[in-house]
Structure 1
Amino acid sequence: MIDQSNTRASNTTSRRLIVGISGASGIVYGVRMLQMLQATDIETHLVISKSAELTLGYEMDLKVKDLHALADQVHSVKNVGASISSGSFPTMGMVIAPCSVRSMSEIASGITSTLLTRAADVILKERRKLVLMVRETPLHTGHLRTMTSLSEMGAIIAPPLPAFYNQPESIDDIVDHSVGRVLDLFDIDTGMVKRWGVTVPLD
Structure 2
Amino acid sequence: MSARRIVVGISGASGFVYGVRLLQLLQRLDVETHLTVSRSALLTMTHETDCKFAEVSALASFTYRCDDMAAAISSGSFRTLGMIVAPCSMKTLAEIASGISSSLISRAADVTLKERRPLVLLARETPYTLAHLRNMIAVTEMGGIIAPPVPAFYARPVSLDQMIDHTLGRVLDLFGLEAHTVQRWKETSA
Q: Which residue of structure 1 lines up, in the alignment, with residue 151 of structure 2?
A: 162
RMSD: 0.9
Please report how far the alpha carbon of residue 13 of structure 1 lies from its aligned counterpart in structure 2 after TM superposition: 2.3
TM-score by length of 2: 0.97
More helix by share: 2
Please report how far the alpha carbon of residue 126 of structure 1 lies from its aligned counterpart in structure 2 after TM superposition: 0.4
TM-score by length of 1: 0.91
Q: Which amino acid aligns with 2:5?
A: R
- Alignment partner of 2:163 out of 169, 174, 186: 174
- Alignment partner of 2:52 out of 45, 63, 66: 63
Structure 2: distance between partners of 1:64 and 1:13:
28
Please report how far the alpha carbon of residue 14 of structure 1 lies from its aligned counterpart in structure 2 after TM superposition: 4.2
Q: Which residue of structure 2 lines up, in the alignment, with residue 20 of structure 1?
A: 9
Structure 2: distance between partners of 1:13 and 1:60:
35
Q: Which residue of structure 2 lines up, in the alignment, with residue 197 of structure 1?
A: 186
Q: Which amino acid aligns with 2:87?
A: P
Please report how far the alpha carbon of residue 198 of structure 1 lies from its aligned counterpart in structure 2 after TM superposition: 1.4
Q: Which amino acid aligns with 2:35?
A: L
Structure 2: distance between partners of 1:43 and 1:165:
32
- Does residue 105 of structure 1 match 2:94? yes
- Does residue 148 of structure 1 match 2:141? no
Is residue 14–residue 92 contact of structure 1 (8 Å, CA) maintained in 2? no
Q: Which residue of structure 1 lines up, in the alignment, with residue 61 of structure 2?
A: 72
- Alignment partner of 2:78 out of 89, 113, 116: 89
Q: Which amino acid aligns with 2:84?
A: V
Please report how far the alpha carbon of residue 23 of structure 1 lies from its aligned counterpart in structure 2 after TM superposition: 0.4
Q: Which residue of structure 2 lines up, in the alignment, with residue 52 of structure 1?
A: 41
SS at match of 2:155: coil
SS at match of 2:84: strand
Q: Deviations over 1:27-84 (max 9, x none)?
A: 1111000011111121001000011011111101110100000100001111001000
Q: Deviations over 1:103-138 (max 9, x none)?
A: 000011111101111000000000000000000000
Structure 2: distance between partners of 1:137 and 1:111:
23
- Count of residues paired in the alignment: 189
Flag as ranges the 4+ runs of structure 1 deviating above 2 A. Answer: none
Q: Deviations over 1:128-162 (max 9, x none)?
A: 00000000000011111111111000000000000
Identity %: 56
Correspondences of 1:120-139 after superposition (within 5 Å): 120-139=109-128
Q: Which runs of 5+ in 2 are unaligned?
A: none
Structure 1: distance between partners of 2:26 and 2:131:
34
SS at match of 2:154: coil
Is residue 124–residue 154 contact of structure 1 (8 Å, CA) maintained in 2? yes
Q: Which amino acid aligns with 2:127?
A: P
Please report how far the alpha carbon of residue 199 of structure 1 lies from its aligned counterpart in structure 2 after TM superposition: 1.8
Q: Which amino acid aligns with 2:118?
A: K
Q: Which amino acid aligns with 2:13?
A: A
Q: Which runs of 5+ in 1 are unaligned?
A: 1-11
Is residue 94–residue 129 contact of structure 1 (8 Å, CA) maintained in 2? yes
